[in-house]
Chain A
Amino acid sequence: GIQVEQSPPDLILQEGANSTLRCNFSDSVNNLQWFHQNPWGQLINLFYIPSGTKQNGRLSATTVATERYSLLYISSSQTTDSGVYFCAGRSSGSARQLTFGSGTQLTVLP
């Protein structure tokens, strides 16, 4: 199966700062999602983005499929952005599952 590497593992920001989270894949993927996990464990869908760029408010994401990486941008961060951010992908083979990275723990300080 594919390997998913996320960086950085931890990130601490002051409110208002911008950040970039990265996700690298060991093989090509045809399904890539970004999630935010809140403190209660709920995984919240942020983006479905196997390629290209999408924006949703202060968040945007870019996936360069040919180079096997994806970036999540958070601008003007707020304390409510705190939590763990996961990317997950499905390989272009016959695999059914999403393979998750180990996440980036984001803490936004007031």
Chain B
Amino acid sequence: ETGVTQSPTHLIKTRGQQVTLRCSSQSGHNTVSWYQQALGQGPQFIFQYYREEENGRGNFPPRFSGLQFPNYSSELNVNALELDDSALYLCASSLGVVDRAQETQYFGPGTRLLVL
């Protein structure tokens, strides 16, 4: 148990729809990162939020967007879903220490999204 929770656990959507995934970070952590893991691959960084501000973004289109709330929980929104968006979506929380290189990221159990 990492103390990071995600909801829902599974989700089925159709192409063109929109989806919102949620993440609650570990107590005391102010940084949340989101990753997409396609089948058979390692997780790919989507973006990171630190104290409610986007703090870095990977190579994902703008239809992937996010929010972080004052309690440091976070949402990942994906618009205009495509078949290739089918994946395991993982969030990770970290302490966000001054020297962020020292962060250890703790992952939630993930949300499995299937786009038909």
Q: Which A residues lie at the B interface, using CB under 8 A?
A: 4, 30-31, 33, 35, 40-45, 48, 50, 86, 88, 90, 92, 95-103
| Nearest 9 interchain pairs by C-beta | A96-B56, A100-B42, A97-B45, A43-B107, A30-B101, A48-B104, A41-B110, A96-B48, A42-B109
Nearest CB in chain B to that of A98: its residue: B105
- C-alpha spacing A13/B3, complex, angstroms: 32
> Which residues from A are CB-within-8-Å of B43?
43, 86, 88, 98, 100
- Is A41 touching B109 in the complex (CB atoms < 8 A)? yes
Mark contacts of B87-116 with chain A using CB atoms, 8 A cut-off: 1 yes-contact digit, 0 otherwise.
010101000000011111111011010000
- C-alpha spacing A4/B43, complex, angstroms: 12
Nearest CB in chain A to that of B106: its residue: A45
Shortest distance between the CB of B101 and any CB in chain A (Å): 4
Q: Which of B41, B58, B88 contacts A41 (CB 8 A)?
A: B88
Cβ of B68 within 8 Å of any chain A Cβ, yes or no, is no
- Is A102 touching B56 in the complex (CB atoms < 8 A)? no
- Is B107 touching A95 in the complex (CB atoms < 8 A)? no
- Is A101 touching B42 in the complex (CB atoms < 8 A)? yes
> Which residues from A are CB-within-8-Å of B56?
95-97
- Is A97 touching B90 in the complex (CB atoms < 8 A)? no
> Which residues from A are CB-within-8-Å of B44?
100
> Which residues from B are CB-within-8-Å of A4?
42
- C-alpha spacing A64/B43, complex, angstroms: 24
- C-alpha spacing A16/B35, complex, angstroms: 34
**Which among B41, B44, B106, B107 has the greatest number of chain A C-beta atoms within 10 A?**
B107
- Is B106 touching A96 in the complex (CB atoms < 8 A)? no
Cβ of B18 within 8 Å of any chain A Cβ, yes or no, is no
